[in-house]
Structure 1
Amino acid sequence: MTARASTRPRIRTRTLSAAAAAAATALAAMTAAVPAHAAAPAHDGRPAHGGAAPTGLFTPPANADSKAQVLDLLRHGKLKDAAGVLAMTLTPQAVWFDGGTSPADTRKAVDATVGAAARAHRLPVLSLYNIPGRDCAQYSAGGAADTAQYQAWIDAVRDGIGGRPADVVLEPDSLALVPADCGMDDAQGSKTAERYAQIHYAVDALEPPAGTHVYLDAGHSSWHSVNDIVPRLISGGIDDATGFFLNISNYRSDAELAWYGELVSSCLSYVSAGGDAAACPNQYWPTADAQSWLDANVHAAPSAMKHFVTDTSRNGQGPWTPPAGVYSDPQDWCNPPGRGTGARPTLNTGDPLEDARLWVKIPGESDGQCTRGTAGPEDPERGYQDPAAGAWFPQQALELVHNADPALLP
Structure 2
Amino acid sequence: MKLTQSAVLAFAASALAAPSQTTEVKPRQAAAACSSAVTLDASTNVFKKYTLHPNKFYRTEIETAITSMSDESLVAAAKEVANVGSFLWIDTIENIAKIEPSIGDVPCSNILGLVIYDLPGRDCAAKASNGELKVGELSKYKSQYIDPIVKILKAHPNTAFALVIEPDSLPNLVTNIDKTPCKNSASGYRDGVAYALKQLNLPNVVMYLDAGHGGWLGWDANLKPGAQELAKAYTAAGKPKQFRGIATNVAGWNQWDESPGEFSTASDAKYNKCQNEKIYVETFGAALKTAGMPNHAIVDTGRNGVSGLRKEWGNWCNVAGAGFGKRFTADTGSSLADAFVWVKPGGESDGTSDESATRYDSFCGKEESYKPAPEAGQWNQDYFETLIKNANPSF
Q: CA deviation at 1:65?
A: 4.3
One-letter code aligned to 1:182:
K
Q: Which residue of 2 aligns with 1:9?
A: 21
Is 1:336 aligned to 2:319, yes or no? yes
Cα gap change, 1:147 to 1:45, in 2 (>3 Å): closer
CA deviation vs aligned residue, 1:170-213 (integer Å, no higher than 9, x gap):
1111111237353225xxx5641331111011001112x11211
More off after superposition, 375-384 vs 238-247: 375-384
1:309 is paired with a residue whose SS is strand
Q: Which residue of 1 aligns with 2:164?
A: 169
Q: Which runs of 5+ in 1 are unaligned?
A: 14-42, 273-303, 325-329
Cα gap change, 1:319 to 1:120, in 2 (>3 Å): farther
1:109 is paired with a residue whose SS is helix
More off after superposition, 83-92 vs 375-384: 375-384
Q: Which residue of 2 aligns with 1:68?
A: 64
Is 1:230 aligned to 2:227, yes or no? yes
Q: Which runs of 5+ in 2 are unaligned?
A: 1-12, 26-39, 258-275
One-letter code aligned to 1:242:
R
State whether residues 131 and 171 of structure 1, in contact with CA within 8 Å, keep that contact through their aligned partners in structure 2.
yes
Q: Pick from 324, 348, 356 the counterpart of residue 339 of structure 2.
A: 356
CA deviation vs aligned residue, 1:259-318 (integer Å, no higher than 9, x gap):
11111111122233xxxxxxxxxxxxxxxxxxxxxxxxxxxxxxx942111100001113
Q: Pick from 118, 127, 135 the counterpart of residue 130 of structure 1.
A: 118
Cα gap change, 1:377 to 1:92, in 2 (>3 Å): closer
Q: CA deviation at 1:245?
A: 0.7
Q: Which residue of 2 aligns with 1:150?
A: 141
Q: Percent sequence identity over matched residues? A: 24
Q: Which residue of 1 aligns with 2:207?
A: 214
Q: CA deviation at 1:44?
A: 9.6
One-letter code aligned to 1:260:
Y
How far apart in 2 are the matches of 1:205 and 1:234?
Answer: 17
Residue correspondences, number: 327
How far apart in 1 are the matches of 2:314 and 2:353?
Answer: 7
How far apart in 2 are the matches of 1:91 and 1:368?
Answer: 24
Matching of residues 329-408 of structure 1 within 5 Å: 332-370=315-353, 381=368, 384-408=371-395
CA deviation vs aligned residue, 1:105-131 (integer Å, no higher than 9, x gap):
83x5323323532x3531111011111
State whether residues 378 and 386 of structure 1, in contact with CA within 8 Å, keep that contact through their aligned partners in structure 2.
no
State whether residues 353 and 371 of structure 2, in contact with CA within 8 Å, keep that contact through their aligned partners in structure 1.
no
State whether residues 109 and 160 of structure 1, in contact with CA within 8 Å, keep that contact through their aligned partners in structure 2.
no
Is 1:246 aligned to 2:229, yes or no? no
One-letter code aligned to 1:393:
N
State whether residues 2 and 247 of structure 1, in contact with CA within 8 Å, keep that contact through their aligned partners in structure 2.
no
1:355 is paired with a residue whose SS is strand
Q: CA deviation at 1:360?
A: 0.3
Q: Which residue of 2 aligns with 1:199?
A: 193
Cα gap change, 1:258 to 1:181, in 2 (>3 Å): farther
More off after superposition, 225-234 vs 211-220: 225-234
Is 1:58 aligned to 2:53, yes or no? yes
2:169 is paired with a residue whose SS is coil
How far apart in 1 are the matches of 2:130 and 2:60?
Answer: 23
State whether residues 3 and 250 of structure 1, in contact with CA within 8 Å, keep that contact through their aligned partners in structure 2.
no
State whether residues 318 and 364 of structure 2, in contact with CA within 8 Å, keep that contact through their aligned partners in structure 1.
no
Cα gap change, 1:200 to 1:214, in 2 (>3 Å): same
State whether residues 334 and 370 of structure 1, in contact with CA within 8 Å, keep that contact through their aligned partners in structure 2.
no
Q: CA deviation at 1:161?
A: 1.4
Matching of residues 238-277 of structure 1 within 5 Å: 239-240=239-240, 241-255=243-257, 256-272=276-292
1:242 is paired with a residue whose SS is strand
TM-score where L is the length of structure 2: 0.74
Q: CA deviation at 1:382?
A: 6.7
Q: Pick from 87, 97, 101 the counterpart of residue 94 of structure 1.
A: 87
Cα gap change, 1:270 to 1:317, in 2 (>3 Å): same
